[in-house]
Structure 1
Amino acid sequence: MATFKHISSKNADYGAAEQYLTFEHDEFTMKPTLDGNGRLVLRDDYRISSLNCGEEDFAIACMRSNLKYGKNQKREDVKSHHYIISFDPRDAQDNGLTVDRAQRLGEQFCKEHFPGHQALVCTHPDGHNHSGNIHVHIVINSLRIAEVPLLPYMERPADTREGCKHRCTDAAMEYFKAEVMEMCHRENLYQIDLLHGSKNRVTEREYWAKRKGQAALDKENASQAATGEPLKQTKFETDKEKLRQTIRKALAAAATFDDFSSLLLREGVTVKESRGRLSYLTPDRTKPITARKLGDDFDRAAVLETLTINAQNAARAAETPLPQQEYPRSIKDRLQRGKAAINAPKNDGVQRMVDREAKRAEGKGIGYDRWAAVHNLKQMAATMSVYEESGFSSPEELEATLAAASARLHETTGKLKAVESTLREKKDLQKQLLAYIKTKPARDGLRAQKTEKARRAYREQHESEFIISESAARYFKAQGITKLPASKTLQMEIEQLTKEKNALYNEYREKKENVRELQTVKSNLDKILRREPERGKGRENER
């Protein structure tokens, strides 16, 4: 299963990349491994070659090109791009993949997709944790030293010009992954679908956090075993993995989205939806974790699909008739019960009646009109049943109840907006406060300078820090803040406001659903009262 990964680097030492590829490094600290004499240890087996460097070393060629075009001179500039193609460990035995063959494939891939760039191509026979997968490293200078043709992943004219820099966009990564899949198909190598994500998406940071956490846990368990103490835990789990397990457990037990949210809330996890995407907020965080960082199993489409299946299974299991309730429940009780799945209409609730005349005018056929007639009869009976069960004595009483419910919804909306506005201001203040704190060493260094010339030179040297500091100071002045709050106090305020916002949002959803159902009952009742005289007139004519 060949995989493709990209890493951008701002390290101006191009020689460090070649040193990493040719010498042994500790997989946790990424520091070079030294022998007993303090010398670097060469890797046992590797293949390496350079492209577009002439007779010069890769590092020297890159630095010479950067000086020629005046690029990659700033600290924040991306100096190089590191791409890794990792092949399946089974390819060596089943498909005859060797280090030399992988090196040739890497060189060909680099020439086709990164033309005009100085590059290093290096192949290693083994991966992390001795997994046995042959993998190819492609390191390119971000600067392009020659004019190149327009490739499919390039979006701007500058992407082909000499003296411009390489851009690794989302479109480019999609294109590279497709090309890796095509290469594996052409070479009869194992391959997985790289274009449609993964059910559990583990980032580079999470992968290393798990590896380091497991190593620390193994070390702790070894010391406990030596003293005869019982082991409490043998497998280390990251916070994201624990969150995945919590979400899967809630999904397995829920049939509607509200049930799903409630089960997560019992575990202290708040699920939020924004622009059609889900995110999950745990108690120890103020910033939610998006579903994209957890995996495809946790995004909105997958969650709704699972809930729909659960609801269908529950409906099949409940096909046997249940005993009728002794007392009809009121509309208040109905609205406070669990709602149906948000992606399917309610089967036990009141739905709006169809205006058949308007639909016929729109050109709807006789089949639709017959369905609408049956639908209206069902909703008419359901509306009158709810109207009587809820204890309404007149349409005016229903309208008064609806007006009161709308007023309560409007009040909750106002509270929610006020809390959101305050939370937004607190987060802006926190952002400026953190930026101002980070620039403290630069401000202290400026005060330590003795002469005006030294202060001027020091300020020019740390210009970016002073720009950030002055911007934050202007923000404090504009907000009328004379004394900066403590970071911990501000963080606690943000956490408290976040909890209030989540509680108000849940209350807002309940009241909105209440208003919606009351509006449906009122709309249907208006249609019933308006059409009853017409039906009576028709019956008189029939007589």
Structure 2
Amino acid sequence: MATLKHISSKNSDYTAIEAYLVYQHDAFTGKQLLDEQGKPKLRDSYLLDTLECGDFSFATACLLANRKYGKNTQHGDIKSHQYIISFDPRDAADNGLTMEKAQALGLKFCEENFPGHPAIVCTHPDGHNHSGNIHVHIVIGSIRTREVERKPYMQKPRDWREGMKHSSTAQTMRHLRVEVMELCEGAGLYQIDLLNGSKERVSEAEYWARRRGQLKLDRENAALTAAGQQPKQKKFETVKDTLRKQISSVLYRATSFEDFSDKLMQQYGIAVKESRGQLSYLPSGRTRFIRAKHLGDKFDKAAVLVTLQANAERKPKAQFKQDTIGKLVDIQAKLKQGKGIGYERWAKKHNLKAMAQTLILLEEKGLTDEDALDQRIAELDTKFHESLTVVKDLEGRMKANKELRYHVAAYTSTKSVAQQLKAAKRPAAFEEQHRAELTAYRAAAAYFKANNITKLPSPKKLEAEYAQLASEKAKFYEQYKEAKEELLKLKTAKQNVASFFREEELAQQER
């Protein structure tokens, strides 16, 4: 599943770029690693080529271009752009991907998409996370040194005229992602759909914060383990990770934007604001808001409103039943927190009603004996988890079935367009006109290849299989739901009885 990443740089030291590609660097500090003699250590393996540099080095070619066109003279000017194509770790074993082949693909990609720019193309055999993925760095000087032929994807003069600066816009990135998908398709490599946004967006800074935090946490846990203590936390979470979890926990229970913002503030101290149609979140303890686009797609305004609307439509189906048991309130603790006399009166009435409901339930179930109650809770807990396991398994199979049906439908509906491309007189124009259909066709073909599907299954059989899975899920889900409801009631009843007798004991001691 090749991915594409873009990094722009304002560093005017172009030699530092080549040094990073050639020499070993510390993954966290970014500093060059030195050998015993104090000299920079070369990387164990790499391939490097330059394009559009003439007889000069990449750094010299970029500096000459800056001087010739009078650009990149300010500190804030973008001096270079780096695009990183990371291939799937499985490609080496399954599809015969080598560093030489990856370098050739990188050179081809650079020639076709960044003509006229001084460029370095460098391939490394492994990522800094030791995942085994071959990846290609393509670094281009920001200024085009010659005018190039206009191609269908080029929209503005800056995309082909001499002396203009490269701009990595959303439209440019979309084109380049399609190019990466087609590059992998033509080379027979694994690929995913790069056109759909990620549900969770992790920036470069957050990625490294995760790695540094996890490394520190691992060291602390190792020290605790050596001292015979059990670590409390094994996975490090950034501020954004925690914020995503907290927002999600509230989002799926709120039914309006006011309810959503109120619950976030009450439960987690998170403030929400809207500016220019975009949401931002301010966690407790911070002074600057975090924009939704830096957290993920499901946290932006449109997605939040859709989820809240869906919750509001489901609310009538989730009304509490008449036999729902309320939990006893710890009145003394609430009074110490500053609650007034009015709250105390309400809490006493609430506790009387909750205790009456508790006694009625236990008598109806014949569970007034503590041992019988504990045994029934254990039985329901087992039934609850067994049903949940089956439901999760069926949901996974239904998801795979739905994904397969989607790709079968997409492949069938776009196959004729792919065949027309072969006979088109102007392939480039036809490609641009039918880009969406061809992308869907190639994504479906890549999915079939990745899952070793050589014969398309019948849509009717897939629908029948999905209906059968849905029927089984409904049956087990009903068992899960019934066990969960009764389990929650009995646990609440047990907790209420314990709280009641504890309050009585405290009152007796006071008397």
Q: TM-score range by the shorter chain?
A: 0.5 to 0.7
Q: Residue in 1 aligned with 2:435?
A: none
Per-residue CA distance 1:174-197 (angstroms, 9 max, x = gap): 221222122223333222222221
Q: Residue in 1 aligned with 2:3?
A: 3
Separation of aligned partners in 1, 2:203 and 2:276: 23
User: CA 1:168–1:317 in 2, change beyond 3 Å: closer, same or farther?
Assistant: closer
> Runs of 5+ in structure 1 lacking a partner?
324-543
Q: Residue in 1 aligned with 2:316?
A: 315
**Residue correspondence of structure 1 range 408-487 to structure 2 within 5 A:** none
Tell me, yes or no, if structure 1 residue 256 matches structure 2 residue 238. Answer: no
Deviation at residue 55 of structure 1 after TM alignment: 2.8
Separation of aligned partners in 2, 1:149 and 1:63: 24
State which drifts further: 52-61 or 305-314: 305-314
- Secondary structure of the equivalent of 1:48? strand
- Secondary structure of the equivalent of 1:39? coil
**Residue correspondence of structure 1 range 164-183 to structure 2 within 5 A:** 164-183=164-183
Q: Residue in 2 aligned with 1:510?
A: none
Query: CA RMSD for the aligned pairs?
Result: 2.4
Separation of aligned partners in 1, 2:22 and 2:236: 32
Q: Retained in 1: the 8 A contact 2:158–2:166? A: no
Separation of aligned partners in 2, 1:67 and 1:261: 53
Q: Retained in 2: the 8 A contact 1:147–1:160? A: yes
Q: Retained in 2: the 8 A contact 1:250–1:264? A: yes
Matched to 2:51, the amino acid is L
Separation of aligned partners in 2, 1:198 and 1:158: 29
Matched to 1:222, the amino acid is A
**Residue correspondence of structure 1 range 2-81 to structure 2 within 5 A:** 2-81=2-81
Per-residue CA distance 1:468-508 (angstroms, 9 max, x = gap): xxxxxxxxxxxxxxxxxxxxxxxxxxxxxxxxxxxxxxxxx
- Secondary structure of the equivalent of 1:88? coil
Q: Residue in 2 aligned with 1:141?
A: 141
Q: Retained in 2: the 8 A contact 1:200–1:294? A: yes
Deviation at residue 243 of structure 1 after TM alignment: 0.3
State which drifts further: 190-199 or 250-259: 250-259
- Secondary structure of the equivalent of 1:49? strand
Separation of aligned partners in 2, 1:116 and 1:243: 44
Deviation at residue 319 of structure 1 after TM alignment: 10
**Residue correspondence of structure 1 range 354-369 to structure 2 within 5 A:** none
Q: Residue in 2 aligned with 1:246?
A: 246
Deviation at residue 152 of structure 1 after TM alignment: 4.6
**Residue correspondence of structure 1 range 143-292 to structure 2 within 5 A:** 143-266=143-266, 267-292=268-293
Matched to 2:243, the amino acid is L
* TM-score (normalizing by structure 1): 0.56
Separation of aligned partners in 2, 1:287 and 1:154: 38
User: CA 1:307–1:73 in 2, change beyond 3 Å: closer, same or farther?
Assistant: closer
Deviation at residue 229 of structure 1 after TM alignment: 4.6
Separation of aligned partners in 1, 2:10 and 2:257: 44
Q: Residue in 2 aligned with 1:341?
A: none
Tell me, yes or no, if structure 1 residue 296 matches structure 2 residue 297. Answer: yes
Q: What is the aligned-residue identity percentage?
A: 58
Q: Retained in 2: the 8 A contact 1:24–1:43? A: yes
Q: Residue in 2 aligned with 1:306?
A: 307
Q: Residue in 1 aligned with 2:354?
A: none
- Secondary structure of the equivalent of 1:308? helix
Q: Residue in 2 aligned with 1:355?
A: none
Q: Retained in 2: the 8 A contact 1:240–1:294? A: yes
Per-residue CA distance 1:40-68 (angstroms, 9 max, x = gap): 21112211111112233222222233333
Alignment: residue pair count = 323
Matched to 2:143, the amino acid is L
Matched to 1:184, the amino acid is C
User: CA 1:261–1:66 in 2, change beyond 3 Å: closer, same or farther?
Assistant: closer
Separation of aligned partners in 2, 1:48 and 1:122: 4
Deviation at residue 22 of structure 1 after TM alignment: 1.3
- Secondary structure of the equivalent of 2:96? coil
- Secondary structure of the equivalent of 2:28? coil
User: CA 1:56–1:280 in 2, change beyond 3 Å: closer, same or farther?
Assistant: same
Per-residue CA distance 1:333-375 (angstroms, 9 max, x = gap): xxxxxxxxxxxxxxxxxxxxxxxxxxxxxxxxxxxxxxxxxxx
Q: Retained in 2: the 8 A contact 1:153–1:171? A: no
Per-residue CA distance 1:71-92 (angstroms, 9 max, x = gap): 3333332221111111111222
- Secondary structure of the equivalent of 2:66? helix
Matched to 2:283, the amino acid is T
* TM-score (normalizing by structure 2): 0.59
User: CA 1:78–1:275 in 2, change beyond 3 Å: closer, same or farther?
Assistant: closer
Deviation at residue 153 of structure 1 after TM alignment: 4.9
User: CA 1:225–1:322 in 2, change beyond 3 Å: closer, same or farther?
Assistant: closer
